[in-house]
Chain A
Amino acid sequence: MKKQLIILTIISALFLSGCEEEIQLDVDQTEEQLVIDGLLTDSLKYHEIRLSTSNGLYDKNGFPAVDNASVSVTEKSNEGIERIINYDLTEKPGLYRSQIEFKGTIGNAYELRIDWKGVTYTAEDILLPVTKIDSLVAEPVEDDFEPWDDLIDSLGTETGPFYYIKFYAIEPGDRVDFYNWRFYRNGVFKNNEGRDVYYASDEIVREEINGIYITGVYTSGDTVYMEQYSISRIGYLYYFDLETVLNSDGGMFSSAPANPRNNLSNGALGFWQVSSVETIKYVLE
């Protein structure tokens, strides 16, 4: 829910009258569209790409996997050297894995090519460097912190101790950087129930990343893991738009929602992300 809406709801709640109810929208079944969830990093590994299609708003059958596509990535170095890496479908529906183990190189461009149902979808992204994560720091919650039921259930403790986690890094000031962060608690991806996306541009961020809070509240024994990805400008725009779509208020105060801008051709949804990645793990005592 958008901030403005929250505020309005607070104001109206003050007078015990605002209300929110679930309704059924009368929508036509949409045309299925290819969805690409692809990531290639500078880590040495078998890289994976997931393909699926969109489905109807009220379709409960899960997202259809795309198993009959041909997938390859072309690495293009600055010197003009090209190498083609083919991907094969794995035993998991819609999941494709590179035939070889490899790592991306900073400065190289990676072109994804997918042929499916007679249409060729392409995308190109460039691998940019990323700064190291300096440290993760646990900070006890405020004295008057009152855990909510859901939090007690997920952390398995009613009494705590409860912590917020902050992270620190040095932001190189001499270049334009875009970031994507992913946070995990005990191996589970945290995104505030599918509403939050973590990304930034250093246009307004200073040369230090000084204690940005990781989403969520943590307790003793938790393993906190985070990944810091470099993204290209189009990657930044994609995540920016993704967050907007996930939190759209229907155009009342914000813009009319639209599919995120991405680097995919022929109207494919999703994103082809090529990144350097830095990770850090921290176990709360």
Chain B
Amino acid sequence: MPIKVMIAIIAIFLCSNYTIAQEKFTISGYVRDQANGEELIGATILVKELGLGTVSNPYGFYSLTLPRGEYILEFNFIGYDKIDKSIVLYHNIEMNLELPASNIITDEVIIEGTKEDLNVTDVSMSKVEMNIDQVKKLPALFGEVDIIKTVQMMPGVVSAGEGTSSYFVRGGSSDQNLILIDEAPIYDPSHMFGLFSVFNADVIKSSDLYKGGIPVEYGGRLSSILDIRSIDGNNREMGVNGGVGLLASRIMIEAPIQKEKSSFLIAGRRSYADLFLKLSNNKDLRDDQVYFYDINAKVNFRANNNNRFFISVYNGRDALKFGNDFGFDWGNRTATIRWNHLYNKRLFSNTSLIGSIFDYGLESNGDALGLEWTSNISELSLKNDFNYFLNTNNTIDFGYQVSWKRFSPGKIVPEDETSIFNKVELERMYALDHAFYAGNEQRISSRISMSYGIRLSIFQNMGKTRIYEYADQSDNISSRQDNILDTIDYDHWENIVTYINPEPRFSIRYLLNESNSIKGSYNRMVQNAHIISSGTVPLPFNTWNPSSPYLKPQIADQIALGYFKNINSNMYELSGEIFYKNIQNVTDFADNAEIFFNFHLANEFRQGNSEAYGLELFARKNKGKLTGFASYTLSKATRTIEGVNNGKTFNANYDRRHNFNIIATYALKERIDIGANFTYSSGRPISIPSGKYEYLNYTVQQYTARNAYKLPAYHRLDLSLTLNGKKYNKKGEARKMTDAWVFSIYNVYNRQNAFTIYTETKTDEDGNVLGDGRELVAKKVSLFGILPSVTYNFRF
């Protein structure tokens, strides 16, 4: 939709919302946790008399502008006791409110009379919130609590494979997911190739996954946004939180610097598999190195109610080294500096300066093959978001973001003189990525609310770099000399190409009654960073490329429709959604693409079309002894790309027909919780040989079609048992320390799920070729059978 038309529409909506001249006042402030002063994100504030309300923003701020009068405000947040506040509004009021955490265990089947519930009333759809407290009670691989593994259980989301941190959302590839920690992008969320994610559960305050109807303030990736926000640190008293597991241990310290005003948090986690290796009898294993660590640190300072500052830093790294021959490492480093400012009672702003670096290195030793290889991507962004609480019917969000990005795809440095390698570096690439956005969430009537807006993405690919002009850009066979017509050198900051894309977003909710609603949404998303990987699961050793003269921005259009229902006073939330997504210029690579250290990667790019549609069903039980959710997804995803699979439509790597997940926790006794996960997913499409032939002495697999075969279905059950420590000591006093043992069993019925299938010459167990070497066998690789683990968690 042209921008002018959008602006006109927005203007009409805003103007049509005329109000009779009446004196109005604003009540505003922050909603916090009584115990530690943490701001609560997404708390609802309901004006009982008017049947309308608002929700606290990501910094806990709320603002309501109402006519003069007397009101009862109901403050509500899941897991906290509800508080009603009577106010007499005849001037602007600043009210910070603290909610006490409700005691979940004694709370059994107490039904609260919350009439408002976000599942039904919120305009946003295709959005799920992960409750970190529940995630902690669920069974986990090696006992490491991992929010990404719960994301992978959500409707519309499928795991890329056993033990990976990659996931696919609504027929999008895994590089189409934007993962943010305190607004900073994480380019690779994996530790140990994805067995664990980089998120230390102890520091997570909120985590929201947006799959559709994506708000205007988010952009840059096509399929989803995972917005993870870390806790700020207790500003009342010092707290220590930690856990000891089989594979890794973690500790977090939070404390006030100046009580009620400023606090800090520091958290660390490290694995110690390498310490076990040191004990090994095998000398080679003793020299091996396998570890990862994470450090999260945060400082926040509340100057006054109008100004608040945060600094948040994350540093995580993995290192693996096999003997003295081969090693690699990778990691993310991010830093966010934020300033929250209230211009007035209705205009909230957040300004962030964000830096993020992802890098990896490979190192091989040995005279001739000695080399060190490094690659990184870095970005620096300035972001300014405004929330303008215009009136009870309109909340306007607007802002801008500018990011400078540098892509350094690879550099090889020979280890010493004897190495056969030259010192070479692939051309670095630079980009400036701007986004301007404005949107309004508007309450049209008591039944209809909508949210609409537009994001304007302006992407500039810039120098300093060298661009080759090719006779045929898609020719990856001819010699370079023959194909290159010209080389153009661009200087620093010199513009190479600019892509301007408006991204309209729209959502509507129609309330059928207080516990039923239907919603619809449309969004367009644009992606200008393309991962250079053609596998199903991106490895940490994948590089990214910006949109360039040879790589057009990827554009996704998605529509979704849904029905939402709460029953039994919101004890159960039900929803069903259907979606259709179409992606233009989806980036893929030619068959046989050489994407590793290729100076002319542009010759391997192929862009085409991707289509996905599906049905998602979701049921969640929020209260009572038994809580949890079940999700089912029926979907299909294909790609059609000239130059890939002979231009014929093929199943996308991320195509999974059926997907079914259950997560449940049950408070068995006062101090015992049990948890269960069950997951079922149709098999991954895979290319298997259709025949074989002989060349020289090689028996070679012959292929006909891409992704035409499906692996066997994946399913698995995990169980956990949490034994909570005593709450009271012998004298009947509350213990300062709380602790818990968590026992997990992963893959209870020991299913050997297919991770992948490959074919090779038939050999015996020792690798000796059997027969004449002309027979091929298919082998199924499974990663984890039944795996018990134990973790001890404490907090004081």
Contact = CB atoms under 8 A, between A and B. Distances in A.
Interface of A: 1-2, 4-5, 7-9, 11-12, 14-15, 17-25, 27-30, 33, 35, 37, 52-60, 62-63, 144, 148-150, 153, 166, 176, 182, 189, 191, 193-195, 197, 203-206, 208-213, 233-234, 237, 240-242, 244-246, 248-261, 269-271
Contacts of A20: 779-782
A37 B421 contact: no
B709 interface: yes
Contacts of B380: none
Contacts of A8: 163, 193, 755, 783
Contacts of A30: 690-691, 702, 704
B693 interface: yes
Given A57-B692, A193-B763, A256-B534, A233 B777 contact: no
B593 A255 contact: yes
Nearest to B541: A4
A29 B704 CA distance: 11
Contacts of B595: 255
Interface stretch (B100-108, B412-420, B662-670): B412-420
Given A37-B694, A252-B161, A259 B702 contact: yes
Nearest to B768: A150
Contact of A63 (B161, B422, B693, B781): B693
B368 A35 contact: no
Contacts of B738: none
A28 B709 CA distance: 11
The 4 A-B pairs with the shortest beta carbon distances in the complex, nearest first, are A30-B691, A258-B591, A54-B693, A255-B534
A154 to B, nearest CB: 9
Interface stretch (B229-237, B455-463, B681-689): B681-689
Contact of B693 (A4, A19, A24, A270): A270
A1 B758 contact: yes
A150 B707 contact: no
A208 B420 contact: yes
B697 to A, nearest CB: 5
Contacts of A22: 777-780
A4 B758 contact: no
Interface in B168-221: 192-193, 195
A25 B477 contact: no
A114 to B, nearest CB: 15
Contacts of B593: 255
Residue with the greatest number of chain A CB neighbours at <10 A, chosen from B290, B687, B773: B687
A284 to B, nearest CB: 20
A201 to B, nearest CB: 10
Contacts of B689: 27, 57, 257
Nearest to B598: A203
B507 interface: no
B145 to A, nearest CB: 18
Contacts of B777: 22
Nearest to B704: A30
Given A19-B782, A37-B695, A248 B701 contact: yes
B767 interface: yes
17 contacts: A18-B781, A21-B779, A21-B780, A28-B690, A30-B702, A150-B766, A189-B696, A193-B767, A204-B597, A246-B700, A248-B758, A251-B686, A253-B537, A253-B539, A256-B707, A258-B687, A270-B695
Given A210-B420, A251-B686, A53 B539 contact: no
* Residue of B192, B320, B688 most packed against chain A (CB within 10 A): B688
Interface of B: 142, 161, 163, 192-193, 195, 273, 276-277, 283, 290, 320, 367-369, 412, 414, 418-422, 424, 476-479, 481, 534-537, 539, 589, 591-595, 597, 599, 653, 686-704, 706-707, 709, 752, 755-761, 763, 766-769, 772-787
A258 B718 CA distance: 37
A256 B687 contact: yes
B698 A251 contact: no
A215 to B, nearest CB: 13
Contacts of A260: 592, 700
A241 B696 CA distance: 15
Contacts of A204: 412, 421-422, 424, 597
Contact of A250 (B476, B591, B757): B757
A21 B785 CA distance: 13
Contacts, number: 265
B586 to A, nearest CB: 15
A168 B693 CA distance: 34
A191 B698 contact: yes
Contacts of A254: 534-535
Contacts of B702: 30, 33, 54, 259, 269
B761 A194 contact: yes
A54 B368 contact: no
A213 B477 CA distance: 29
B589 to A, nearest CB: 6
B389 to A, nearest CB: 48
Given A60-B775, A189-B696, A206 B422 contact: yes
A11 B192 contact: yes
B687 A57 contact: no
A214 B539 CA distance: 30
A212 B599 CA distance: 24
A116 to B, nearest CB: 15
A149 B766 contact: yes
Contacts of B768: 150, 153, 193
Contacts of A28: 690
B187 to A, nearest CB: 17
Given A148-B766, A204-B412, A210-B420, A252 B695 contact: no
A258 B648 CA distance: 14
Contacts of A15: 142, 784, 787
A91 to B, nearest CB: 19
B693 A18 contact: no
B773 A194 contact: yes
Contact of B594 (A37, A166, A191, A240): A240
Given A8-B193, A15-B787, A194-B761, A209 B706 contact: no
Given A54-B692, A57-B691, A234-B477, A205 B537 contact: no
Contacts of A203: 424, 599
Contacts of B758: 1-2, 5, 248-250
A82 to B, nearest CB: 23
Contact of B687 (A58, A182, A210, A250): A250
Given A11-B290, A193-B769, A18 B698 contact: no
B592 A23 contact: no
Nearest to A213: B368
A22 B763 CA distance: 11
B368 A210 contact: yes
B692 A55 contact: yes
B784 A17 contact: yes
Given A5-B756, A250-B758, A271-B695, A233 B479 contact: yes
Taking each of A60, A182, A194, which has the highest tally of chain B beta carbons within 10 Å of its own beta carbon?
A194
Given A195-B761, A208-B420, A252-B535, 13 more contacts: A8-B193, A9-B781, A35-B693, A54-B693, A54-B702, A150-B766, A153-B768, A189-B696, A193-B767, A255-B592, A258-B703, A259-B703, A271-B695
A148 B418 CA distance: 29
A253 B542 CA distance: 10
Given A150-B766, A206-B421, A53 B534 contact: no
